[in-house]
Structure 1
Amino acid sequence: MQGATRIGISGWRYAPWRGRFYPKGLAQRLELDFASRMLPTIEINGSFYSLQRPVSYQAWHDATPDDFVFAVKGPRYITHNLWLKDPLTALANFFASGVFALGSKLGPILWQLPPSFAYDADRLEEFLALLPRDGRSALALARQHNEKLDDDRAFLKVPAKLQIRHAMEVRHASFENPGFIAMLRRHGVALVVADTAGRWPLLEDLCADFVYMRLHGDKELYASGYSDEALDRWAGRMDAWRNGRQVKDARLAEPSRLLSRKKGRDVYCYFDNDVKVHAPYDAAHLAARLGVATGLGPKDSFVLPPGMAVRKPARGRARKK
């Protein structure tokens, strides 16, 4: 059985995209509405920089189609400030901050470690053991939030049958360690397949029932687009993974195990090469190779969904510059 395939972008609010990916005159408040109708999944980046509010998560939920899925980036306060040390209260605050308001649109949660963070088995084991996997455990954790989230700020309504997946992105060579891979597999946490133009490790060990990919650019970090040949290669790998197979030339930290399964793996792929507006187009072109529907129209343009109006240029005397 083939797993689900979702291909999208990391974030959606980028000034250089306006008038190029986003139609000229589209109100900024409608950018998520537009992007979520072009591609089936988006990473929420704001949650990485600060705790968001329930009203924001609810607005994002309401702005997107019923079958849309968000990935949520875990707070850098936990990964970059605390370095995963004693993370209980910070995790509780994160889960109480409104994440549950995404409801059925809540997809995987991404934990990105800083490049200076070397493999520390004890610290990682403690952190992974705290991560909730279902609504009941997530609610129990969220209720341990501190005074940063008062009664009006905390959101503790958990959707029925909520299941939570986690993925970890590493950026230090010491993680090329069989013990780390074994740990992720014990906890069912996916290792992020991260293409970073050779700057940080690119590992393809299969550790969970899903695969999480982040394509930051293969030639220039965050900037370069992907060629047809590169997209063909990634499409071939994703097709193997969603059908439960591992590719023969996989780049592995634990090379003795290729881990195939009869039931396919869901695959989530996010393009983060946003600087030159490559991300949404690369996502759509990769999706087309794998039979995933997008809003891409003729000549690589995205089609404005019905009912979504753009602002008309203001009339009147032009201002002197």
Structure 2
Amino acid sequence: MAGAGRIYVGVGGWTFEPWRGAFFPDDLPKTRELAYMAERLTAIEVNGTFYRGQKPETFRKWAEAAPDGFKFPLKASRYTTSRRVLAEGAESIERFFATEPTAMGDKLGPILWQLPAFKRFEKDDIAAFLKLLPASHDGVTLRHVIEATHDSFADPAFIELLREANAEVTQVVIDDPDHPTIADVTADFVYLRLERSQENVETGYTADELDAWAKRLKAYAAGGVPDDLPTLSGDKPEKHPRDVFAFFISGAKVRNPAAAMAMIERVGILSARS
């Protein structure tokens, strides 16, 4: 879209046995799964980095398997986000970046800091944690995303903290009946996790649902905020093009690649990738 940011659409990971036959051809070598998915989607959210550190050569290998314009958001280490006091995680954050995720070059997407479901919004702790997030590493500008699912984060003070952060930080816009949807814009990009795919729907989401979300993604990319999603701050951000990252996650996972491809068709981004 002219005058709009880029929209990236994908799923979580590329290794899931039920995708064989449903998405991957039965005879596709496992070593080709990443490349096959990267040819059909425009982003993949990496979950493995949440559980263990990776090597720079691994990051480079992943990046080399994907075409130009592809993005890999990475889940940051659980050893940082699972602690009771997030502000005590400085050393853990340093260890995560010491694995050199920036070896992915321009294919590195936002860093996702996934907080546990029990973590409540404690303003001082969240403010201190945000100060620990680096704005850049090895000369590469970083983007950060906070996934906070506890109801207490539905607080305008949370949005204010994100907007005041030294680094580019936003919250996940979650489409899930069990967690609050917070649609405010706090950075130069937006990050969504769409978690309601259904196994009895071939594309995970129905055509009407996909159309509605495509409209929302385009609204964000054009610099606005969808008028049918709830916000906390009540204000309108400065309107300028924003990159948008949308992932079909959880739900009926077997349907998520089909949902992502259906969304890519609606927002018309694959042919525009460069």
TM-score over 0.5 (shorter chain): yes
Which structure carries more strand by proportion?
2
> Contact conserved, 2:59 with 2:101, CA < 8 A, in 1?
yes
Residue of 209, 218, 222 corresponding to 1:230:
209
Equivalent in the alignment of 1:189: 169
Instruction: Give the drift of 1:219.
Output: 6.5
Structure 2 gaps of 5+ residues are none
Query: SS of the residue aligned with 2:38?
Result: helix
> Quick one: distance in 2 between partners of 1:193 and 1:215?
8
* Normalised TM-score (structure 1): 0.78
* Bigger Rg, structure 1 or 2: 1
Identity %: 37
Write the mapping of 1:166-177 to structure 2, written as runs, cut at 5 A. Answer: 166-177=144-155
Write the mapping of 1:107-186 to structure 2, written as runs, cut at 5 A. Answer: 107-134=109-136, 138=137, 158=138, 161-186=139-164
Write the mapping of 1:100-111 to structure 2, written as runs, cut at 5 A. Answer: 100-111=102-113
| Counterpart residue identity of residue 50, structure 2 | F
| Counterpart residue identity of residue 247, structure 1 | P
> Contact conserved, 1:45 with 1:73, CA < 8 A, in 2?
yes
Write the mapping of 1:200-219 to structure 2, written as runs, cut at 5 A. Answer: 200-217=179-196
> Quick one: distance in 2 between partners of 1:11 and 1:274?
14
Deviations 1:78-106 (A, max 9, x none): 11135524111100110011312111111
Equivalent in the alignment of 1:51: 53
Q: Does 1:240 align with 2:219?
A: yes
Query: SS of the residue aligned with 1:289?
Result: helix
Query: SS of the residue aligned with 1:250?
Result: coil
> Quick one: distance in 1 between partners of 2:108 and 2:251?
23
Structure 1 gaps of 5+ residues are 139-157, 295-321
Instruction: Give the drift of 1:173.
Output: 0.6
Deviations 1:226-276 (A, max 9, x none): 11111111111111111111222331122x213241x21110101113645
Residue of 32, 51, 68 corresponding to 1:30:
32
> Contact conserved, 1:191 with 1:212, CA < 8 A, in 2?
yes
Residue of 94, 99, 102 corresponding to 1:92:
94
> Quick one: distance in 1 between partners of 2:84 and 2:101?
21
> Quick one: distance in 1 between partners of 2:88 and 2:248?
32
> Contact conserved, 2:196 with 2:252, CA < 8 A, in 1?
no
